[in-house]
Chain A
Amino acid sequence: MQDTILKIENISKFYPGVTALNNVSFEIKAGEVRALCGENGAGKSTLIKCIMGVERADEGKILMNYNGEWVENTNALKAQSHGVYANYQHVNIAPELSIAENYYLGRQPKGKFGRVDWKRMYRDSQKIIDKFGMSVNPRQKISSLPIAMQAMVTISKISVSDDLKIVIFDEPTALLENEKVETLYKFIKELKNNGVSIIYISHRLEEIMDICDNVTILKDGTYIDTKAIADVTKDSLINMMVGRELSDIYNIKKQEQGEELLRVGNFSDSLHFKNINFSLHSGEIIGFAGLVGAGRSEIMRALCGVEKRLSGDVYVRGKKVDIKDPASALEHGIGFLTEDRLTDGLALSLPIKTNINMNSYDMISKRSIISLKRESERAKKYSKDVNVKTPSMMQLAGNLSGGNQQKVVIAKLLCRDPDILIFDEPTVGVDVGAKEEIYKIMENLIAKGKGIILISSYLPEVMGLSDRLFVMAQGRITGEFNLNEITDLNEEDVLKKASDEG
């Protein structure tokens, strides 16, 4: 009775320096709820993009059974017309339009003379809203709704389409309130009963155990296995997702811990983190592990004055400091490599020279007049230190490749020469070679007596590099391990701490 609806055949996708998908093949049946599991960077998102026709695979093909015919969705429009729908992680709706307008975007009910039949649109929208148990008015603007409600609107929007074949949910519950998760489950069951296939991606393994029929595991772009949910446990799933030894590239030279550089006490903001305490010493790397949204970046943003904090104290070398903005963080010797460094770390329209120097002009000027000679020297020195490949220091940052842009941002941080360095996901989107270079830089830094705070969602990295490891879940530190404990730690333990609900 169950026919195959989607055949993924030997799909490979290459990005410069990275193999995102490597010869992946599997099938999905009609009316099946299939989970897609894997660590960050396992290739889930890329695979979804290929299924949606947003990206073309470099090798292999994806065939879809559309009313008995095998078709290939070579672009997003075709996928759409064949009833493939993706509910993306980042809420994709028009914020300045009403709920009803968003529901019927591009397919507004028409009345006489082709005008929009607003009455019918609002009436039908109200039905959807009732069905999903939302307490909103269809005339309300999306931007006036809380994020959780916006997420619910995007999910409920799916029910407007009538010719659905495949629906992809990418982390649908990340933004939802708990009671709405049940509503989502009910909706998924309804879709399933109508013969719609579901691809379900979530970091929360309990959800996968609750709602899915089968699970496919990806790791580092390769296909691992597909199992019936009845045949797996949470632990065996994690094992398949991770299942790998700490490799040598994380084996950097450890240093003796020196004086205390930084201490953070009772750090809280109103929303993302609560009562955070930690310290950092000279020559030390401390790691923060956890799931996306655990509050790790938010702590560092508050620490550096990028965002406001509610309460808590910061001590640099034992002295209490007041950090109001990123400028005062730099003055106190705290440098921050942000997660979105390509958007908020680089001035794309300016040359490499300016980019490298732009947070440290005060160090090479007298009475705020810059020494152009030292500016050039420093640009050359630091771009060489991190191995930026460019013909000239006047090259605009926007014209560099992604990897080189990454290096320019790091050069900029090093040029400031801070004692405390915060690396937020330093190796995301970076190939293995560049990863090793970044680790080398970190090794050199701690050898010079600097202290490093490393945030990484990639467990082998954060476990392999850290002298002390903090695990966070939902804004709280749920685990703290010293070097000896880390050595005995396995990734399953950390994942358990990271998904700690209490």
Chain B
Amino acid sequence: MEKAKKTKLKGNALQQTEFTLGLIIIILFVAASIFTDNFCTLYNITNLMKQCAIIGVMAAAQTIIIITGGIDISGGAITGLSCMALALLQRNTNMNFVLTLTIALVIGVAVGFLNGIIIFDLKVPPMIATLGMQTIVRGFVKIISNALTVTGINQHILNMGNTNLFGVLPVLAIFWAVVAVAIWFILKYTIFGRSLYVVGSGVEVARLSGIKVRKMFYATYAAAGLLYGIAGIMLAARVQSALPTGGEGYDMNAIAAAVIGGASLTGGKGTITGTVLGTILMVLINNAGVQFGLNTHVLEITSGVLIIFAVTMDMLKNRKKA
């Protein structure tokens, strides 16, 4: 009995990661609340949630990709593209509002799908395929925007970025929550979600188990593209304009959030709960650090150390088991 309990605890390494992350977040939160004046204010907390929201949605996309053993560094660029397309359509045309949103999402899906084709059919490693795609998309965004910031975004979107439900809950954070719950459900309850883990554990294993691997790759990268499209709309709301460099640097934060949350770049491992906590921790360190009066450059270093530390812990845990 005693023994069975012990093994159960050990078997759920991921839950341990999540427990540790939760603990660190709480400690950091409490400490910042006690020792600084401006951390635990309504303004800062809503701001914190907004900061989390866009990275959180992109990190959710990274999570499903990393589970399959891939990685996507074109996420920031695709987000920027969706954001820019939305802004241009709304400023330059009389197109129906809903249609502009749809097009922004479809663009994300299309580019993601293209990533899937390049990675599965052309056999380009995900890192390289998405690096190429990032560069292509960035160039494309600068062409369609003449490398200028575009304003004139629809008032609904602008309002969305500034609205807090009940005065405390930013609408952007609700987007994030909905995405996170949806991905949680998919990973836990659907055949697609389970198959992601199997693909990440070994493509040949998956194929022989009757999983249609090609479809899985297309669907995964297209789904990620959809999430980038959503993130692009959120970005337009948050920045209140579309920058030609929009979304830059977000990929790395999103990947880091997923990895800190326990997703393994070797594939077959990762949870959305972990990623959500990883996102919060990444953003919290920066936010609280600034409140503590730490130099932002020092905080950058801290984030980097955290990433390496998280992965090292994960490796050590695996080695002990083997």
Contact = CB atoms under 8 A, between A and B. Distances in A.
Interface of A: 306, 325-327, 329-331, 336, 338, 343-351, 354, 357-359, 361-362, 365, 368-370, 372, 391-392, 394-396, 398-399, 412
B305 interface: no
Contacts of B189: 369-370, 372
B209 A359 contact: yes
Given A347-B202, A361-B191, A394 B11 contact: yes
Given A326-B210, A358-B194, A399-B322, 20 more contacts: A306-B207, A306-B208, A325-B207, A327-B210, A336-B208, A343-B202, A344-B208, A348-B202, A349-B201, A349-B264, A349-B268, A349-B269, A350-B197, A350-B268, A354-B198, A358-B195, A358-B211, A359-B210, A391-B7, A391-B8
A24 B99 CA distance: 80
Contacts of B197: 347, 350, 354
A365 B191 contact: yes
Contacts of A361: 191, 194-195
B191 A394 contact: no
B300 interface: no
B151 to A, nearest CB: 43
A394 B12 contact: yes
B319 interface: no
A347 B205 contact: yes
Nearest to A360: B210
A169 B266 CA distance: 37
Contacts of A357: 194
B204 A358 contact: no
B3 interface: yes
Given A392-B11, A395-B11, A327 B211 contact: yes
A27 to B, nearest CB: 40
Contacts of B297: none
B11 A348 contact: no
Interface in B249-268: 264, 266-268
Nearest to A369: B189
Contacts of A392: 4, 7-8, 11
A344 B12 contact: no
5 contacts: A329-B210, A344-B205, A349-B268, A391-B3, A391-B8
Contact of B198 (A358, A394, A398): A358
Contacts of A346: 205
A370 B7 contact: no
A362 to B, nearest CB: 6
Nearest to A328: B210
B321 interface: yes
Nearest to A367: B190
Contacts of A327: 210-212
A369 B182 CA distance: 13
**Which DSSP category, helix, strand, loop or mixed, fits chain B's interface?**
helix
B140 interface: no
A343 B268 CA distance: 15
A329 B206 CA distance: 14
A348 B201 contact: yes
A347 B191 contact: no
Interface residues of B, number: 34
Residue from A331, A358, A370 having most chain B Cβ neighbours under 10 A: A358
A350 B207 contact: no
B192 interface: yes
Nearest to A372: B189
Nearest to B266: A349
Given A368-B192, A369-B189, A358 B209 contact: yes
Contacts of A329: 210
Interface string B310-322: 0000000000011
Contacts of B206: 347
Given A326-B209, A349-B269, A395-B11, A369 B190 contact: yes
A349 B267 contact: yes
Interface string B185-225: 00011111011011011101111111110000000000000
A354 B8 CA distance: 16
Contacts of A347: 197-198, 201-202, 205-206, 268
B9 to A, nearest CB: 10
Given A347-B205, A391-B3, A391-B7, A370 B190 contact: yes
Contact of B208 (A345, A350, A351, A365): A345
A373 to B, nearest CB: 12
A408 B58 CA distance: 36
Given A327-B210, A345-B208, A372-B189, A350 B201 contact: yes
Contacts of B205: 344-347
Nearest to B8: A392
Contacts of A338: 208
B7 A395 contact: yes
A325 B201 contact: no
A369 B321 CA distance: 32
Contacts of B201: 347-350
A399 B269 CA distance: 15
A394 B206 CA distance: 19
Contact of A351 (B11, B266, B322): B11
B198 A350 contact: yes
Closest 10 CB pairs of A and B: A347-B201, A349-B268, A359-B209, A327-B210, A330-B210, A394-B11, A391-B7, A344-B204, A361-B191, A368-B191
A27 B319 CA distance: 42
A398 B269 CA distance: 13
Nearest to B7: A391
Contacts of B8: 391-392, 394
B202 to A, nearest CB: 6
Interface string B145-177: 000000000000000000000000000000000
A349 B208 CA distance: 17
A370 B200 CA distance: 19
B204 to A, nearest CB: 4
Nearest to B6: A391
A343 B202 CA distance: 9
B208 A326 contact: yes
B14 to A, nearest CB: 10
A345 B204 CA distance: 8
Contacts of B209: 326, 358-359, 412
A399 B12 CA distance: 13
A351 B188 CA distance: 14
A349 to B, nearest CB: 4
Nearest to A375: B194
A327 B210 CA distance: 4
Contacts of A348: 201-202
B212 to A, nearest CB: 6
Contacts of A396: 11, 321
A394 B9 CA distance: 10
